[in-house]
Chain A
Amino acid sequence: MGRYSVFSLVTQGFLGHGGWKPVWRQPDPKPAYDCVIIGGGGHGLATAYYLAKEHGMRNIAVLEKGWLGGGNSGRNTSIIRSNYLYDESAAIYNHALNLWETLGRELNFNIMMSHRGVINLAHDEGEMRQLKRRIEANRLNGVDSEWLDAKQVQEFCPILNVSADIRYPVLGGTLQRRGGVNRHDAVCWGYARKADEMGVDIIQQCEVTGIRVEAGAVTGIETTRGSIRTPKVASVAAGHTSVIAKMVDLRLPIESHPLQALVSEPIKPIHPCVVMSNAVHVYCSQSDKGELVIGAGIDAHVSYTQRGSLDIIEHQMASLVELFPIFSRLRMMRQWGGIVDVSPDASPIISKTPVKGFYVNGGWGTGGWKATPGSGHVFAHTIAHDEPHPIAAPFAIDRFHTGRLVAEHGAAAVAH
């Protein structure tokens, strides 16, 4: 496979761009693999990439029921940050942020990583104290984080309404300068291209319908494209995690909800960073194409329909217009929903299970995108060694039995 560089671009320019080759194969499933990963989104492809690169497991497959990155990887608002409260969370999200910084070079693929800064707003004194506490916790964990008062917030993001006469005035906010956004499709394609190069079979339009378990251990998997023998199955199925777990009679502390996002018509660059508000409840950034990318809340009921309720986005738009009056006449162009797997403590589950050879990576809820490389990296270690990576260990399913929860509701962007 060719390496992407300015020289390949210029050469192809002279050749009329006729020489670009597909960057991954479309293989048929083999009868057996060393490991099968269910889910061809960012987390699944990252898992496959690190399994092949760091653990030498190259006879593996990624099964995707639709197309690569067509689920939540293509539906999120691509916000990257690591300013979580607890040590366990700071470890995994900062691990991911460190990997994001060099991922484009590592994958030889432009993931359009932009460290433009993420602001989390405070609208009352309680929230202000809570956010300042989080800043101190972040600093102790080596996560960059700083406090901005209302004036500094406005200097950083001039279009934000910080006047005192709105219903929930902006009192200040935290800023993580290393935070930002990137291009989600490019991340999936970059991981897929490199994983394929190392021999990983990426099989799209192949849905898992059952998992064979004999004497408490995984022996194979049933799909719409035939049976596959494998001693290891790793579920990275996001909203469908419970559906996959049910195939091995495993109940998880996860509920699936629709989460919506929308984009506006494209406008000239005006929004310099990412602004998130938990209290007024909206988060917003501007893509390089010029569209505002806006997200907010989940529907409260369990649902697997990839849409959402209108009252949720009405609330989200009201919040947006209060914080950014300048956007009040902007038209919204597209709206969509994705199914998020919400865990009771707003932290993920990266874990071995009572079924030998069945691994779960899920429960990322509304904020999984930022963790993609870190999640894949520690999950690959967990699968390859059949022992949790030290960073993944606190996120085992057992925590719901022992009570060692990692309650991150305050740092998660979406209230649930």
Chain B
Amino acid sequence: MFLIPCPYCGERDQSEFANAGEAHIARPVWRDDMTDREWADFVFMRTNTKGLFAERWVHAAGCRKIFNALRNTATDELLAVYEVGAEPPEVETVLPATPSGEALGSGNDAVKIIASGGSEKP
């Protein structure tokens, strides 16, 4: 659970917002020779990124506006919000060093491997 800074209303509890999935998925321009595979890629396939992820939120219990956000899905750190249609801004975040090598405190500590010295092994 986290706070989301709505660009129109300011910082609010996440429970006020509805998530609208991955951002920047463009509907393909219709062509006569479009294949089922191309449509399926648009409709179903997702990057499901672990790490820096662009997504859409709707401030459902507030201004009801849609906006984009950048979030680190390995830690739920919310990094930036920006308008629909805009390019994602540059942000800094610590990405997982290996597929599950995120920093301690990220919420995944239960299955992390801690070397005897106390430092993180992957």
Instruction: For A71, list chain B residues within 8 Å (CB).
Output: 111
In the assembly, what is the distance between CA of A305 and CA of B72, in Å? 10
Is there contact, CB below 8 Å, between B53 and A311?
no
- A303 at interface, CB cutoff 8 A: yes
B100 touches A305 (CB 8 A): no
A300:B99 contact, CB within 8 angstroms:
no
**B40 contacts A by Cβ under 8 Å:** yes
Q: Please tell me if the beta carbons of B99 and A209 are within 8 angstroms of each other in the complex.
A: yes
For the complex, give the distance between the alpha carbons of A240 and B73 in Å: 12
B48: interface (CB < 8 Å): yes
Given contacts A66-B111, A306-B110, A309-B15, contact A207 B45 (CB under 8 A): no
B94-122: which residues lie under 8 A (CB-CB) from chain A? 98-102, 106-108, 110-113, 121-122
Stretch from A156-164, A387-395, A400-408 that touches the partner: A400-408
B50: A residues at CB distance < 8 A = 240, 242-243, 256, 304
Give the complex CA separation of A303 and B102 in angstroms: 13
Contact residues in B for A255 (Cβ distance below 8 Å): 21, 46, 48
Assess the A310–B18 pair: CB atoms within 8 A.
Answer: no
List of B residues within 8 angstroms of A229 by Cβ: none
Nearest CB in chain B to that of A308: its residue: B1
For the complex, count residues of B whose C-beta is within 8 A of A: 40
- Across the interface, A302 reaches (CB within 8 A) one of B53, B106, B122, namely B53
Residues 261-307 of A contacting B (Cβ, < 8 Å): 300-307
A-chain residues with CB within 8 Å of residue B22 when the two chains form the complex? 302
Majority-rule SS of A interface residues: loop
Partner of A253, one of B19, B45, B101, B112: B45
Assuming the contacts A240-B99, A303-B76, A304-B74, asked whether A253 and B46 have C-beta atoms less than 8 A apart, the reply is: yes
* B40 & A251 in contact (Cβ 8 Å cutoff): no
Inter-subunit contact A243/B99 (CB<8 Å):
yes
Q: When A207-B99, A207-B100, A300-B19 are in contact, do A400 and B44 touch as well, CB less than 8 Å?
A: yes
Instruction: Determine if B113 and A401 form an interchain contact, defined as CB atoms under 8 angstroms apart.
Output: no
Residues of chain A lying within 8 A (CB to CB) of residue B37: 401
Q: What does DSSP make chain B's interface, helix, strand, loop or mixed?
A: loop
In angstroms, Cα B44 to Cα A67, docked, is 32
A254 on the B face (CB < 8 A)? yes
- Taking A253-B44, A256-B48, A301-B55 as contacts, is the C-beta distance between A306 and B107 under 8 angstroms? yes
In the bound complex, how far is the Cα of B73 from the Cα of A337, in angstroms? 15
A306 to B104, CA, bound (A): 12
For A209, list chain B residues within 8 Å (CB). Answer: 98-99, 122
B48–A302 CB distance below 8 A: yes
Chain B positions within 8 Å of A137 at CB level = none
- Which residues of chain B are near A403, meaning CB under 8 Å? 36
Q: Are B113 and A307 touching (Cβ within 8 A)?
A: no
B90 within 8 A of A: no
Q: How distant is the Cα of A337 from the Cα of B106 in the complex, in angstroms? A: 13
Q: Is A8 located at the chain interface by the 8 A CB criterion?
A: no
Is A62 interfacial (CB-CB < 8 Å)? no
Please determine whether A311 and B40 come into contact, CB atoms closer than 8 angstroms: no
Q: Is B108's CB under 8 angstroms from A305's CB?
A: yes
**Inside 8 A of A243's CB, which chain B residues have their CB?**
50, 99-100
Once the chains bind, are A305 and B122 in contact (CB under 8 Å)?
A: no
Minimum CB–CB distance for B45 against chain A, Å: 4
- Interface check A244, CB cutoff 8 A: yes
B106 near A310 with CB under 8 A, answer: no
Q: A256 CA to B49 CA in the complex, in Å?
A: 9
Q: Could you list 10 A-B pairs, sorted by A, with CB under 8 Å?
A: A209-B122, A242-B47, A243-B50, A244-B99, A251-B47, A255-B46, A305-B73, A305-B108, A400-B40, A400-B45
Q: Which residues of A contact B (CB under 8 A)?
A: 65-67, 70-71, 205, 207-209, 224, 240, 242-244, 251-256, 300-311, 336-337, 344, 400-403
**A-B contacts besides A66-B110, A207-B101, A224-B121, 8 pairs, CB < 8 Å:** A67-B111, A207-B100, A242-B46, A242-B47, A251-B41, A302-B19, A304-B50, A305-B108
